[in-house]
Amino acid sequence: MGKYYQEEIETASREEILKIQNEKIVKQVKHVYENVPYYRNLMDEKGVKPEDIKSVDDIKKLPFLSKADLRDAYPYGLLGTDLKNCVRIHSTSGTTGRRVVAFYTQHDVDLWEECCARAIVAAGGTKDDVIQVAYGYGLFTGGFGVHGGSQKVGCLTLPMSSGNTERQIQFMMDLGSTILCCTPSYAAFIGESLAEKGYKPTDNKLKAGIFGAEPWTEEMRREIEKSLGIKAYDIYGLTESSGPGVAYECEEQKGMHINEDHFYAEIIDPDTGETLPEGSKGELVFTSLDKEAFPLLRYRTKDICVLTREKCACGRTHIKMCKPMGRSDDMMIIRGVNVFPSQIETVLIKEGYTPNYLIEVDRVKNTDTLDISVELQPGQFSDKVSDIQAKEKALEGAMRTMLGIGPKIHLVPPKSIARSEGKAVRVIDKRKLHD
């Protein structure tokens, strides 16, 4: 296995990939129309018949599916096969409060694990590696997906699950883990804990990390790479389309290759639903080309991003997505200005702070307020109130330049903001409680 897990498909020409996609979509639409009454109704309402879909160009004729549909159809309404053919259920982590359950046949599990295996090989994984899987195992897709991929590559797989940081570090050191997989916020926490124990970044055997399941900035990537002494790769996925591994980074670390033989990606205007040309920023929509049990067509992810088909030096030909810039429902509108948590994270790290912060939005006397608590590192802490105040003012200024509105900054003592072992909670919007 050299540089690729499945070289032929990962480096296939545009024509070859299109041919595969076109063959698969025709079959898949027929499969869904025949087996998923919920989607058949949506197609009928729109006046689209399976025969109308002859290639991926026709995908734009199909109706969208959204999280609301998944909730309406809960639990079995979007099932594409008999339950007795299914071997697994997973569920979303409920970041946005609504849980979704997804079903898998053995074919679907294999396909998913293959996608994760491609990601692991792209991050330099081989049979000689020890992969520490510190994503949660359970209903969350992170642990099981990467675990399956790791075994497919033939890596020695350490199913740690998330949490118990002491034990993570002990096993990492004693068993010589070479690749760490977890959320970026947990990777940052592990890096911090290692330093506290007196380990230098060169003391561990790690060479790479595969981090995803939540948004993280380039600045955060550099922090993690420095603290663990590794190269950090991004991986993207969602329960609705299987789990992690829908897209993954190669050694170029410039966007994630989407596994196009299994997932067809589009960017749409979130307001009008219109498909946008390549290179435009908009909402990412996925069509699963060959999943059997949970074959979602045109699923709206709410993730805002850009697709590009620029040639990649790694030799892979699959289209790339940029780091998602946050979900459309992560975007905060504060005093009429659009603010993404990622912008705040970028400023913090640039200004020399750690990515331990909490954003609180509220509405006081009809005016939106934005408060950001930011943790100081032991070396930054000072007993002099005037020192702290000066630092707060400076950070407020830097935030105003980036965001266009000024937040109130609260510098808080080291270790006073809770660390995350899974997906970090960065925003508390209290306005939603009043509404």
CA dihedral 77, 68, 102, 99 (to 10 degrees): -120
Binding mask 208-227 for ligand ADP (x = CB under 6 A): ----xxxx------------
CB under 5 to 8 A by kind: which of Zn ion, ligand ADP, none does 72 bind?
none
* Contacting residue, 185, 217, 227, 239, with ligand ADP by CB under 6 A: 239
**Partner interacting with residue 133 (select from Zn ion, ligand ADP, none; CB below 5-8 Å by kind):** none
Pick from Zn ion, ligand ADP, none: which does 316 bind, CB < 5 to 8 A by kind? Zn ion
Q: Is residue 262 within 8 Å of residue 288, measured between CB atoms? A: yes
The CA distance from 426 to 236, in Å, is 19
**Min dist. Cβ of residue 297 to ligand ADP (A):** 17
Give the Cα separation of 78 and 326 in Å (integer).
26
Pick what 108 binds: ligand ADP, Zn ion, none; C-beta below 5 to 8 Å, kind-dependent: none
Residue 110's Cβ-side half-sphere holds a number of Cα atoms within 13 Å equal to 6
Q: What is the rounded distance in angstroms from the CA atom of residue 231 to the CA atom of residue 214? A: 18
Contacted entry of ligand ADP, Zn ion, none for residue 312, CB cut-off 5 to 8 Å set by kind? Zn ion
Among 250, 256, 284, 332, the residue binding Zn ion under the rule CB under 5 A is 250
> 70 or 121: whose CB is closer to Zn ion?
121
Applying CB under 5 A, which of residues 316, 323, 391, 423 lies at the interface with Zn ion? 316
To which residue do tokens 């005093």 refer?
335
**C-beta separation of 300 from 283 below 8 A:** yes
Q: Using the rule CB under 6 A, is 69 a contact of ligand ADP?
A: no
How far is CA 339 from its chain centroid? 19
Judged by CB under 6 A, the number of residues near ligand ADP is 20
Minimum distance, C-beta of residue 210 to Zn ion, in the bound complex (Å):
15
Q: Which residue has the tokens 């087996």?
A: 35
Q: Does 303 bind ligand ADP (CB under 6 A)?
A: yes
Full strand arrangement of the beta sheet holding 256-258: 156-158, 130-133, 179-182, 208-212, 231-237, 244-249, 256-258, 320-321, 299-308, 281-288, 263-268
Contact positions with ligand ADP (CB under 6 A) in 184-213: 212-213
DSSP labels, 327-394:
BTTT-EEETTEEE-HHHHHHHHHHTT--S-EEEEEEEETTEEEEEEEEEPPGGG--S-HHHHHHHHHH
Segment interacting with ligand ADP, rule: CB under 6 A, options 164-172, 230-238, 372-380, 383-391:
230-238
Which segments of 175-280 are extended strands (E)? Answer: 179-182, 208-212, 231-237, 244-249, 256-258, 263-268
Nearer to ligand ADP, 121 or 424 (CB): 424
Max CA distance (Å), the chain: 73
Q: Is 312 in the site for Zn ion (CB under 5 A)?
A: yes
Residue 92 lies near ligand ADP (rule: CB under 6 A): yes
Look-up of token digits 């697709």: 307
Residue type, 8: E
Q: Are 320 and 256 in contact (CB under 8 A)?
A: yes
Smallest separation, CB 263 to ligand ADP (Å): 13
Nearer to ligand ADP, 80 or 212 (CB): 212
The window from 111-119, 237-245, 248-256, 270-278 that contacts Zn ion (CB under 5 A) reads 248-256
Closer Cβ to Zn ion, 314 or 319, answer by number: 314
CA distance 216 to 348: 13
The correct pick among 327, 415, 419, 431 for binding ligand ADP (CB under 6 A) is 327
To the nearest whole angstrom, how small is the minimum distance from the Cβ of residue 312 to Zn ion?
3
Min separation Cβ 238 and ligand ADP, Å: 4
Pick one of 145, 324, 341, 407: the residue that binds ligand ADP (CB under 6 A). Answer: 324
Per CB under 5 A, residues contacting Zn ion are: 250, 252, 312, 314, 316
Per CB under 6 A, residues contacting ligand ADP are: 92-96, 212-215, 234-239, 301, 303, 323-324, 327
